[in-house]
Amino acid sequence: MNRIRPALASALVAVIALLGVHGTAVSATAAPVIDPATITTIEIHKLEQPDALGQPATGLPQDTTGLVPVAGATFTATRVPGIDVTTNAGQQAAAALTAADAGPLVAGLPADASATTGAAGEATLTPLGVGLYYVRETSTPAGFIPAAPFLVTLPLTDPDTRDNWLTTVHVYPKNAHVGIELDVRDQDAVAVGDTVSWRARAGIPVQPSIDGYRITQTVAPGLTLDAGGIQVALDCGATLPSCPTLVPGVDYVLTVDPSGTGFVVDVTGPGRAVLAAAVQAHPGASVVVDFPTTVTADGAYVNTATLAATRATIDGDPGAPAVVADTAATRWGPLAILVREAGHPQNLIPGARFKLYLTPEDAAAGVNAVVVGGTDTWVSDQHGRVDISGLRFSDFVNGLQRDPTDPLYRNYYVRLTELPDGYLGSLSVLSVAVTSTTEPQLVVVELRRSGGSLPWTGAQVAGVGAAAVALLAAGVLFLIAARRRRREDAEAS
């Protein structure tokens, strides 16, 4: 067997190419003979894939300032059998081998080292020996695309001195980052039956090819999905006019669950090529899925959007990154009115009529009343109660909690429009908030007995004072006249 001082340039080029960076081969013709007993190490520096390529990999430490480390990625290194890199023949075999070729050769073999990246994105594969190693990412955190397997020859030529070996080789595999966001827009919705709009925005991995891409949307019970309103599009940001159009049935397949509980968008091979090209041309490009729903009843409705951006994730392969997910919610609930007698709260009054408004101005003018389930007027029942359900929350709008100072915070305004027989009361406007899906805020309206037998409308209430004054005046005049007659009778006798 010939002991050599081989040039490991081809192996270095292989490492560089497989790590997604570019470099220049270096000569090692003056390197000493490799000691077969040398202990070697691979230092993993796991980073998010930036929009632009970084400096070429050389096996030496690099400045990674500004790059984002990726924690929780597990790597294994397995020695490729049958290749002795201390010989010319072994060097030539290593140079000719690709990671795709090496995969079957190490299948079923135990890993020589395994490590998981920490918070700094670093992991150490050691102790290793002399040879060609197949390095594979076996577990990837959610939201990232696994790095492709790559080969590292150990030891590696020192690119600075060119006459020595690196027994510790630094590699910088990059992970394309993906995520998904789900937003809801319900600020214009008022009552059940109104439309609530949703938008899922999914990232596209920055890599030359994408082997799988699926968006899954679940719709909560209590919401009715309008499947005809589902729209799928590419969003390239400011360069939207030049963004490609995704063609249904060609670039993606839309499958709607017959029960209406959700749908799946599967991007096809041609569609994934469109995505890859779009994100290369427009970093930050995303897939946008819009869909409308209607609300059917009170409740807190949470929808979930998930993204699987690799075939391994879609298929559920061991070690594949989990799907990334996001949720958004819309909340709906009731309000209640209790009508009772002033001074006698145990006396509950039926027959009072009310309307509901979104602004105090509309309530004062009696225009633009809220309609719920086809009705805009509610009457207190035998227990003096009015329940109005199916109203969007006051303090939860567009998926966010709101305080009363927020312009999107909504009060509802109750107005008594008609009094029941025999009662007087104020027709002033009362405000109320909807903040619970089950426990309504209670508006208490108190009325006074009038003794009348006719229904009391707003005009009649306004005339009560004048009528009372007239009756009082008549009584006083009658009393004065009676006293004058008695005095005159006494004088006559």
Q: Identify which has the larger pLDDT, 290 or 471.
A: 290
C-alpha distances (whole Å) from 464 to each of 94, 365, 451, 458, 476 are: 105, 22, 12, 10, 19
**Residue 446 pLDDT more than 60?**
yes
The distance in angstroms from the start CA to the end CA of the chain is 162
Burial class (CB in 10 A: 0-12, 13-18, 19+), 338: middle
Domain 180-322 falls in which CATH fold? Immunoglobulin-like (2.60.40)
**Residue 476 pLDDT more than 50?**
no
Which neighbouring-strand residues pair with 115? 75
The pLDDT value recorded for residue 193 is 95
CATH label, 332-456, candidates 3.30.70.330, 2.60.120.380, 2.60.40.10, 2.30.30.100: 2.60.40.10
Burial class (CB in 10 A: 0-12, 13-18, 19+), 414: buried
CA dist., res. 357 & res. 464, Å (int): 27
Domain 9-175 falls in which CATH fold? Immunoglobulin-like (2.60.40)
The pLDDT value recorded for residue 471 is 32
**Residue 16 pLDDT more than 50?**
no
Task: Locate the domains of the chain by residue range.
Answer: 9-175, 180-322, 332-456, 463-493
The pLDDT value recorded for residue 346 is 95
The pLDDT value recorded for residue 31 is 58
The pLDDT value recorded for residue 207 is 83
The pLDDT value recorded for residue 240 is 54
The pLDDT value recorded for residue 238 is 67
At 55, the pLDDT band (50, 70, 90 cuts) reads: low
The pLDDT value recorded for residue 239 is 53
**Residue 474 pLDDT more than 80?**
no
At 124, the pLDDT band (50, 70, 90 cuts) reads: very high
Tokens standing for residue 431: 């405000």
Q: Identify which has the larger pLDDT, 21 or 162.
A: 162
**Residue 350 pLDDT more than 90?**
yes
CA dist., res. 483 & res. 493, Å (int): 16
Average per-residue pLDDT for the chain: 83
Q: Which of 224-238, 268-282, 346-360 has the highest mean pLDDT?
A: 346-360
Which neighbouring-strand residues pair with 344? 341
The pLDDT value recorded for residue 371 is 97
- Tens digits of per-residue pLDDT, 383-442? 999 999 999 999 999 999 999 999 999 999 999 999 999 999 888 899 999 999 999 999
List the strands of the sheet with 429-432, edge to edge: 378-379, 353-357, 412-418, 429-432
Check for a shared fold between 9-175 and 332-456: yes
Mean pLDDT value of segment 159-165: 80
